[in-house]
Structure 1
Amino acid sequence: MLHGVDTSGAHGAEEAMKRLWKESGATEENPQPYLKTVLCRIVSVSGVLREVVAEEVKLKLVTLPATAGDDEKAKERTILKQLLKAIGSRKPQLVGYNSHNADVPIIVQRAIVHGLFSQGMGERPNKPWEGVDYFATSGDHNVDLAPMVGRWGQTPRLHEIATLSGIPGKVDTEGGFVSDLWLQGKLQDILDYNEFDAITTHLLWARIAHFAGLLSSEAYEREQVLVRELLDDEIEKGKKHFIRYLEEWDRLLALTKKRD
């Protein structure tokens, strides 16, 4: 729509993406430059829901769409409506890596493109202390781990700080390859990749929370056990890609023990 590209036909989507990259400064050395979030389509959202019930921590993996194969559930509009409804009704604390610059802006921008109601996520209190505000530059409702561990040129990539901490970073694929997977019709591979990232982000959050004194050493160890139990449960449900995640986690932990 933006550049007048005909997206019909077998190669319509590919031609549209090539035009987006071209208009965003593509070069021979960098044929797929980073696109503004408003130009990107959300094809999957994944996260770890952490709840404390009667002092007991419970973890649940949530992915939209749950599996590939259902065209209706895979629509961006459907994914966004479910996500906005969940955030607006539950008002959870959001935790991400570079989420202030990427995750929240793309959710807002693409929801506006689709003409959706925020379901409460977009509400802002008159005063910071009077309610949940996901757009405040400070506060605990939208926690971005990236600026907590670095600034500017010293901000590590998620893959870097996770791997050095003994946590799987990017396993088998990276974010830059997601567009190729989409053009090849491999939505399930993207879902698997997003779920890996969700688990990695949660493990890194727990490590940072431990460093900050928000989790005791015992609570931090327990959190890691809970993640392993979650992965085991997901494998039992048929998500065999988590076997690869556990293998990489064990490999990295073995290396950190040698280092220590």
Structure 2
Amino acid sequence: MIRTAPAHVWAFDLEWVPDTASGRRAYNLPPDTPDADVFAAMWAHGGATEQEPRPYLKTMLCRVVSVAVVVRKVQADGQVFLGLTSLPHEGEEGLSERQLLDRFLTSLGTANPKPALVGFNSRDSDLPILIQRGIAQGVSAPGFCHRPEKNWEGYDYFAKYNEGHVDLKEVISGGWGKSVPRLHDFAAACGVPGKIDTSGDNVLDLWLAGNTRAIVQYNEFDALTTYLLWLRTAHFAGHFTDEAHAAELTRVRDLLRKRIANGQTHLRRYVDKWDALAAIDH
């Protein structure tokens, strides 16, 4: 179970698609091979079947196209700042993968104090792809990669038993067996919005259609869900009282209300789903 509720938390989520450049290199395909044929080759090498035509590919061969983060930071005066940020920003749909990773990892590595990362299935997926694609894209991320000499001297994003990185999937299930839930299952049981309209299976279709904004919006929903589930888990562990947990939920709703008023109307779908789930009796 999680040991603390840190003063600075980033609940994060990434979205990625097969990277055709990596696919051409990995499988010796000519440079002019159509993207559709590259995807087919990558899936074939990944073990595609009639039942699963698009198998999960090795993350090294995929391209990160979006990152979303809910930031919670207790400030010096005790006030709690809560924010939601994502990349690419609106109008930056042409942001390269290298630029996206560099911007995110630099922000993470230079944040003061260093935030604790919270994800869902992040130890097996989100964290490895950050590392792998950062290396592949030639990103330098010394702040993110810094490791303290001793486990208790600071956050270490790479150590399994350091609170610098909390994978909620591991925390609640042990990481294997029939007790392992999907993010949507965990969220549904807690009355929190899970997948809304989009799932990871059709991110590629959105990408091919040039609908990067829909990917980012879906990514923000997953980051919000991950954050709300972290709050529930921290409350379960005794790090928030009932009253404090309720206050944290109010902060999330206030954040969403302000963002919707400022034009981020896609978040209305998240609020509406949250309200609908709250109306279902336990």
Normalising by structure 1, report the TM-score: 0.93
Which structure carries more strand by proportion?
Answer: 2
What's the counterpart of residue 85 of structure 1? 106
Percent identical: 44
Any gaps of 5 or more consecutive residues in structure 1? none
Distance in 1 separating the partners of 2:189 and 2:63: 31
Q: CA deviation at 1:221?
A: 0.3
The 8 Å contact of residues 93 and 212 in structure 2, kept in 1 or not, is answered as no
1:197 and 1:75 map into 2 onto residues whose CA distance is 22
Unmatched 5+ stretches in structure 2: 1-24
SS in 1 for 2:63: coil
- The letter of the residue matching 1:5 is L
Residues in 2 aligned to 1:116 and 1:69: alpha-carbon distance in whole angstroms: 19
Query: Which protein, 1 or 2, shows the higher relative CO under an 8 Å CA cutoff with sep ≥ 6?
Result: 2
1:40 aligns with 2:62: yes
What RMSD over aligned residues (CA atoms) do the two structures have, in Å?
A: 1.4
Contact (CA 8 Å) 2:119, 2:166: kept in 1 or not?
yes
| Pairs aligned (count) | 253
State the match for 2:149 in structure 1: 126
Which residue matches 1:112?
A: 135
| In structure 2, C-alpha distance between the alignment counterparts of 1:238 and 1:198, rounded to whole Å | 19
- Residue 69 of structure 1 deviates from its aligned partner by 4.9
CA shift, 1:228, in A, is 0.6
Which residue identity lines up with residue 226 of structure 2 in the other structure? T
Instruction: Answer whether contact 1:89 1:119 (CA < 8 A) is retained.
Output: no
Q: Where does residue 85 of structure 2 map in the other structure? A: 62
Confirm whether residue 148 of structure 1 aligns to residue 199 of structure 2. Answer: no
Q: 2: CA distance between counterparts of 1:220 and 1:58?
A: 15
2:74 aligned to 36, 52, 67, which one? Answer: 52
Describe the SS at the equivalent of 2:70.
strand
In structure 1, what is the Cα distance between the partners aligned to 2:30 and 2:211? 23
Which residue matches 2:216? 191
Does structure 2 conserve the Cα–Cα contact (< 8 Å) formed by 1:6 and 1:16? no
TM-score, scaled relative to structure 2: 0.86
Aligned-pair CA distance for 1:131: 2.8
Contact kept? 1:14, 1:183, Cα under 8 Å: no
Give the CA deviation at 1:179. Answer: 1.3
Corresponding position of 2:231? 206
The whole-number CA distance in structure 1 between the counterparts of 2:152 and 2:200 is 36
- 2:276 is equivalent to residue 251 of structure 1: yes
Q: Which residue of 2 aligns with 1:3?
A: 27
Q: 1:76 is matched with which residue?
A: 97
